[in-house]
Structure 1
Amino acid sequence: MIKAKTLVPALAAAAMLSGAAYAETELTVYTAVEAEDLARYAETFNQDHPDIKINWVRDSTGVITAKLLAEKNNPQADVVWGLAATSLLVLKTEGMLEPYAPSGLDALDPRFRDADNPPSWVGMDAWVAAICFNTVEGEKLGLTAPTSWADLTKPEYAGHVVMPNPASSGTGFLDVSSWLQMFGEEKGWEYMDALHANIGAYTHSGSKPCKMAAAGETVIGVSFAFRGAKSKAEGAPIDIIVPSEGIGWDMESTAIVAGTANAEAAQTLVDWSITPKAMEMYNVGYAVVAIPGIAKPVEFFPEGITEAMIDNDFEWAANNRSAILEEWTKRYDTKSEPKG
């Protein structure tokens, strides 16, 4: 028979071991996901993994990308969850990502993963370019709605166009890189020269131009389609226009930062990030997700989006990112909003 004095220390030791087994692991996660969605992402993940705490570091795509590159020799992040694939390709080239094949990888649309085996990153959802046009303000000013990117260079729109700065916004970068692909580099820069004459401001947020159009602060906001659909569902007097030449797009993606001390927890997060439950969560904010057949229709999301998406050369965009941003900044940054 075990004596009570012996049993108590044994139970205490077992409790301590149990507590150690379920001790909370903290992950530093860098992201460009909209700030309003972060609590929902963490809460949904913690329903399945309550033992992993996410500490978010959130900023725009350009800022997060620059921060990761600056920390190359002393990484601070464990995981990147929700950053443009074009940015993750830059990090991959720098040897900053830990290749990992998450559970459920085969369920993804092949476009939503790194081509290497094991992949260095996996996709979550896609966002696509669109024009938000305020019909009320446009009518007041006698402006017709544009139907193409070329239309945005018409003199009638002078001062009435707002778009994101590609150095800080992933949406801005997908616009610029897609124009260079669609029109060719020489004509692409000629187009942006003409467009610049009509720009009222370059914002540091991809959603802000559409929010401004929705609020009547500008007539035309170059943004992304889901933001337009959301604003229209909230009652904004806007049309969401898919330009006739085609539209750029990028995908939010997830990766493990090489050298993380929390590899097991990081793998758990990446595994979860491509589950059907995660895809349903992304679908609240994005109309296109990485697992086919999961996304539900989004009210006011424009038709013909999939057909309009260009054959985006992500490798080209990533490899030329620095040069593109340097040239863009030299030519157009004088109209950018102040940072901060």
Structure 2
Amino acid sequence: MRTPLLALTLAAAAIATACPASAQSTGQINVICSVQAEWCNLMSTVYAKTTGVKVNMTAKGSGEALAQLNAERANPKTDIWFGGTGDPHLQAAEQGLTLEYKSAQLKDLHPWAQKQATDSQYRTVGVYLGPLGFGFNKELLAKKKAQPPASWADLLKPEFKGEVQMANPASSGTAYTMIATLVQLMGEEKAFDYMKKLHTNISTYTRSGTAPVKAAARGETMVSISFVHDVTTEAVNGFPVGSATPSEGTGAEIGSMSIVKNGPNTEAAKKFYEWALTPGGQQFGLAAKQFQLPSNAKVPKDSRMTDPAKIKLINYDYAKYGASAERRRLIARWEKEVMNLPR
């Protein structure tokens, strides 16, 4: 396993190759970052040191990021939005919040990343893929003599009452991905019937999509509904967690990146965007112990990353469920019919 110092050195070398000294410049860029803090910090620190550009990085979940861009619509203060589930990026594109920009590197990206660009009329692009599944604390399961959940149906078992955490879909792209996945997998009525039953076993709905798996890792809950790469990160950090993807089928996030329309530093944003799609720019996730599948097909694969070919992925309709009206409708129905039910 790479040490943090070695990872930082390798990342710096990768950027130096992609951004030679002759191309260095001054100036600044304002970035909303919707991946883990370690990834955000590594990107911003090394990019700033190797290009001379000051990076003002703000960490926000996908739902909060979209809300900020809407609030700033009349006077944008953000230049680029990096990472987070793709649905809100598609909604930002639909609402005219992001800039149409077609990268010359699209041909090097996996088809799912290219489709994210075409679906948005080139107002966003895929930067990583992450399947949705479960995290579980092995020690807590052993104490209760319970088996790890392997299906959506398993989460309804009595032994998991009060032992499951998930995020609130109004603030978390992870949780909205779950709702959209279940609707496509089961049909809307059956999906909402399922979520009403699941509510009985939920201990809390967190604000952040990563909070449930962190709680599972630290023994605060037995099971989390999470992207499986977040579970891998906790396991690599030494916590007693494992992961599974539902046997009935599951969805996946296409983590995306968008340039904000009429941002204060658009030319600097385009340079950052291009660099973030290079193989060098896409190695920061792994350097920060994040295990999403990078969108550039030339990035070396890591064995700890979930192979999409080995799990049952549904044919997720990113265009439909990434639309603003559909997202609002489904979240509003969840808030009305599920969130405030008694347990």
TM over 0.5: yes
Say which SS state the counterpart of residue 98 (structure 1) adopts.
coil
Instruction: Name the counterpart of 1:338.
Output: none
Is 1:290 aligned to 2:292, yes or no? no
Alignment match, 2:108: 107
- Counterpart for residue 219 of structure 1: 222
Aligned to 2:41: 39
- 2:311 alignment partner, one of 307, 311, 318: 307
The alpha-carbon deviation at position 38 of structure 1 amounts to 1.8
- 2:278 is aligned with 1:281: no
d(CA) in 2 for partners of 1:117, 1:239: 35
SS at match of 2:118: coil
1:10 aligns with: none
Which stretch of structure 1 is more off in the superposition, 245-254 or 265-274? Answer: 245-254
Q: Is 1:157 aligned with 2:160?
A: yes
1:261 deviation in Å? Answer: 3.5
1:223-302 residue pairs with structure 2 within 5 A?
A: 223-284=226-287, 285-299=290-304, 301=305
Q: Structure 1 vs Structure 2: percent identity of aligned residues?
A: 30
* 1:207 paired residue among 192, 210, 214: 210
Distance in 1 separating the partners of 2:231 and 2:303: 11
User: Which of 167, 170, 178 matches 2:170?
Assistant: 167
Q: CA deviation at 1:48?
A: 4.4
1:67, distance to aligned residue in structure 2 (A): 1.4
Cα deviation, 1:68-120, whole Å, max 9, x if unaligned, reads 12222222211112232211111111111111112322111121131169611
Structure 2 gap ranges (5+): 1-22
What are the superposed Cα offsets for residues 231-256 of structure 1, whole Å, 9 maximum, x if unpaired?
22233222211110122211221111
Cα distance change on mapping 1:265 and 1:123 into 2, 3 Å = same
CA distance 1:189–1:305, shift in 2 (3 Å): farther
Deviations 1:176-206 (A, max 9, x none): 1111111111111111011011111111122
What number of residue pairs does the alignment pair up? 313
Q: TM-score scaled to structure 1, two decimals?
A: 0.85
The answer as to 2:92 corresponding to 1:91 is yes
Q: Secondary structure at the match of 1:55?
A: strand
CA contact (8 A) 1:178 1:248 kept: yes
- Deviating above 4 A after TM superposition, structure 1's stretches of 4 or more consecutive aligned residues are 301-306
Paired position in structure 2 for 1:322? 328
Structure with bigger gyration radius? 1
Q: 1:153 to 1:197 in 2, by over 3 A?
A: same
- Work out whether residues 242 and 302 of structure 1, in 8 Å CA contact, stay in contact via their aligned partners in 2: no
Q: Normalising by structure 2, what TM-score?
A: 0.85
In the alignment, is the contact (CA less than 8 A) between 1:287 and 1:298 conserved in 2? no
Q: 1:171 and 1:256 mapped to 2: Cα distance?
A: 22
Judge conservation of contact 1:162–1:221 (CA < 8 Å) in 2: yes
Tell me, which stretches of 5 or more residues in structure 1 are unaligned? 1-20, 336-340
Q: Report the Cα distance in structure 2 between the residues aligned to 1:232 and 1:165, rounded to whole angstroms.
A: 24
Measure, in 2, the Cα distance between the counterparts of 1:61 and 1:68: 11
Using the alignment, how far apart are the partners of 1:266 and 1:229 within structure 2?
31
Contact 2:218 2:239 in 1 (8 A): yes
Q: Which one of 135, 141, 147 corresponds to residue 138 of structure 1? A: 141
Q: Assess, with a 3 A threshold, how the Cα gap between structure 1 residues 22 and 278 changes in structure 2: closer, same or farther.
A: closer
Q: Does 1:53 align with 2:54?
A: yes
CA contact (8 A) 2:245 2:311 kept: no
Q: Deviations over 1:109-144 (max 9, x none)?
A: 121131169611111112221211222212222322
Distance 1:198 1:292 in 2: 40
Contact conserved, 1:126 with 1:286, CA < 8 A, in 2? no
